[in-house]
Chains A and B, each alone.
Chain A
Amino acid sequence: MNMLLDGFIAPLDDFLAASVRTATPLALAALGECVTERSGVINIGLEGSIICGALAATIAAGSVGVSVGFAAGLTAGLLVTVLFALFTVYLRADQIITGTAITLLSLGLTGLLYKSVYGSTGVGLTTPTTSAVEVPLLSSIPLVGRALFAQPLVTYALYLLVPAMAWWFFRTHGGLALRAVGESPDAAMAAGVQPRRVQALAVLFGGAMAGLAGATLVLAQSGTFVENMSAGKGFIAIAIVVLGRWTPFGVAGAALLFGAASALQYLFQSLGWNAVPYQLFLVLPYVLTLIVLARASGRTAAPAALARRELTLG
């Protein structure tokens, strides 16, 4: 009996830990995008910030150290969105098109730079990684203890960030200004808020967070850089924001769900249930997002001015 239970407990434990681990970079990028979208800008170029963050983190961590790697990833993600902000906030170019171009640009540039830095094969490239830090006592809670409290520091940063962001959104004038710009830039402007500055800052914050997400992919997970390793995580982050209904706690929950879905395949494999194709788990979150969107009648919760090009007063 105990043996049988153990047979389930161990994989389940691993599954929960893997869920949180996989969710961490997704949550970082999605929380950033959540702020960006609240200001009325949708950054499809998020993917670009993630991949650039990943490469910068690889280079910096390899030559200096892990913490510098995180800082480099954040900075690279930020720099990519400077270009995006310039085009969308100041030139008022179409956000979708600019974002698509930025993604292309970043995937291309990182591919190119990676090969010119590490040679054409890049075989055997590994970077130092952060190790998990176990929180005493908490990590020994059955089942969820290890999943939640034996993670790298960057995950713990999220535990603080999510409530802090929720508080900031709804309990500060800064959060008020952000939401107002996303709903009605004209009204915000008449109240003394500067919509362009708010949007630019929101976009840059989103880029920095995506860069951090890219760094996390390398420094807390894979330990190596691979071309196109962002693998659509920028788009997944956008889906997470939608699924999370544009609130920090919602986004965190949705990120965990996406993390769990991709971890589920490993659980099934370790349990020997190979009859279910693993693509089903990968597809599940996207389908779920579409269903949630449809049930909640999409636009009602979305910022009213999302993806709008003109600030009519500007």
Chain B
Amino acid sequence: MTPATRTALDVVLRLGITLALTAGFLVVLLVITGYDPGQSLRALVNGAFGSWYAITSATFVRAVPLALTGLAVALAFRAGLLNIGAEGQLLAGAAASTAAAAVLGSSLGAAALPIILLIGMLAGSAWAGIAALLRQRFGVLEVISTIMLNFVALYAVGWLVRGPLQEPSQIYPQSVALDKALQLPVLLAGSRLHVGSLIAVLLAAAAWWWLRNTASGFRLRAVGLNSSAAATSGRINVARVSVSAFLMSGALAGLAGSVEYTGVTYALYENLSPGYGYTAIAVALLARLNPLGVLGTAILFGALQAGGSAMQRDAGVPIALVNVVEAVIILLVIAGDRVRLSLARTAHTVTPESVPPST
């Protein structure tokens, strides 16, 4: 067996165990809370994978923002940056795209769409840039600053949809509906699957290739693995690499917001994201920060959310259950990792005093 097949087998095996344990937990939880597990699970699976429409229009459509924010988190974590701010960056992207669409109107026709997306990316980048600047110039922990900025973004959107970006009738706290010409085209006729899914797949592949094969991708990984060694032995400009990784991460999350706005919601409102930026952390981790893996885990979590909605509709099970399942998956993955690590440690512990002579 080659190491590659062994690794692949290992990943599949672990995913299988995790999912089996999660399903078991889910059944127990449903029984305890008094729902019919058979009916509920059927609704869950049908809602996510029951039909071609469910797969494309429910699961995949929800997977798109998860994949983009998941990529954002994965890139940041790979660079050693704990960017918890994908949610805020997503909102910044969505808000900026909304503003751009309002300004551009239908004057440019469909040509405005790339501009709108680009502006969303830049806004996400800028929002992440605040945290990057605070970290680089003032040593502010990015964990804390990005959480703060998420709230700032949320309240800013709350203000925008009641103020400058509110729809003309000024009744609803949301922006005016996006012009048909500026909406992301549908990819498959008869479904809601939009071109954003293609963008997510292409970006995931590009990120994977870039990290693996290019000098700048290697610099990002080196800084994430050991920034001190990267600076001392690699003579890498750690500050520059960190800041650009942060900006890239923000751009991806911002794009998620723009794509959600132009492809799904067609309007800006406060609850545009049901916490995609937070779920993204789970998406990225479960994929072991591998950009291609992110596509898979985004579909898994997209399916969970799609199935959760169906479960609420058809079996009366609260959608909150989805949060529980996501959390259990994360905890199982961490526990599995830590247990494996401690097993590996006891097998070959290396302490300075116990290093065998290098004969």
Residues of A at the B interface (CB closer than 8 Å) are 42, 44, 83, 87, 91-94, 96-98, 100-102, 104-105, 107-113, 115-116, 120, 227, 232, 235-236, 238-239, 242, 277, 279-280, 282-283, 286-287, 289-290, 293-295, 297-300, 302, 306-307
Contacts and interface: CB of A to CB of B under 8 A. Distances in A.
Contacts of A286: 148-149, 151-152
Interface in B188-240: none
Given A100-B278, A108-B320, A307 B338 contact: no
Which of A94, A120, A295 has the largest count of B CB atoms less than 10 A from its CB?
A94
Nearest to B144: A242
Nearest to A287: B152
Contacts of B150: 235
A279 B328 contact: no
Given A101-B330, A298-B139, A108 B338 contact: no
Contact of B338 (A83, A92, A120, A295): A92
Given A101-B331, A293-B138, A120 B316 contact: yes
A104 B327 contact: yes
A289 B146 CA distance: 12
A104 B326 contact: yes
B282 interface: yes
Interface stretch (B104-112, B155-163, B290-298): B155-163
Nearest to B33: A116
Could you tell me the dominant secondary structure of chain A's interface residues? helix
B323 A104 contact: yes
B19 interface: no
A225 B121 CA distance: 38
Contacts of A120: 316, 318
A307 to B, nearest CB: 7
Contact of B151 (A91, A232, A307): A232
B348 interface: no
Nearest to A282: B155
A264 B301 CA distance: 40
B144 A100 contact: no
Contact of B328 (A105, A110, A277): A105
Given A108-B323, A277-B159, A91 B338 contact: yes
A299 B141 contact: yes
Contact of A298 (B141, B281, B323, B337): B141
A294 to B, nearest CB: 4
B264 interface: no
Given A109-B324, A112-B321, A279 B334 contact: no
B318 A239 contact: no
Contacts of B9: none
A238 B146 CA distance: 12
B186 interface: no
Contacts of B130: 290
B140 A293 contact: yes
Interface residues of B, number: 52
Given A91-B338, A277-B162, A299-B140, 9 more contacts: A44-B84, A93-B337, A100-B84, A107-B320, A111-B323, A242-B144, A286-B149, A287-B148, A298-B140
A96 B86 CA distance: 14
B100 interface: no
Given A105-B327, A120-B316, A294 B152 contact: no
A280 B151 CA distance: 12
A298 B163 contact: no
Interface string B290-324: 00000000000000000000000000101111111
A111 B282 contact: no
A43 B338 CA distance: 19
A279 B327 contact: no
Contact of B334 (A44, A93, A298): A93
The 7 closest A-B pairs by CB, nearest first: A111-B320, A108-B323, A105-B327, A108-B324, A298-B140, A101-B330, A104-B327
Contacts of A238: 144, 147
B148 A289 contact: yes
Nearest to B150: A235
Contacts of A302: 141
B147 A294 contact: no
B285 interface: yes
A137 B122 CA distance: 59
B278 A104 contact: yes
Contacts of B149: 286, 290
Contacts of B327: 101-102, 104-105, 108
Contacts of A227: 320
B29 interface: yes
A297 B339 CA distance: 37
A116 B330 contact: no
A113 B29 CA distance: 10
A112 B141 contact: no
B282 A101 contact: yes
B46 interface: no
A56 B52 CA distance: 42
A232 B148 CA distance: 10
Contact of B155 (A93, A239, A279): A279
Given A111-B318, A277-B162, A290-B140, A98 B334 contact: yes
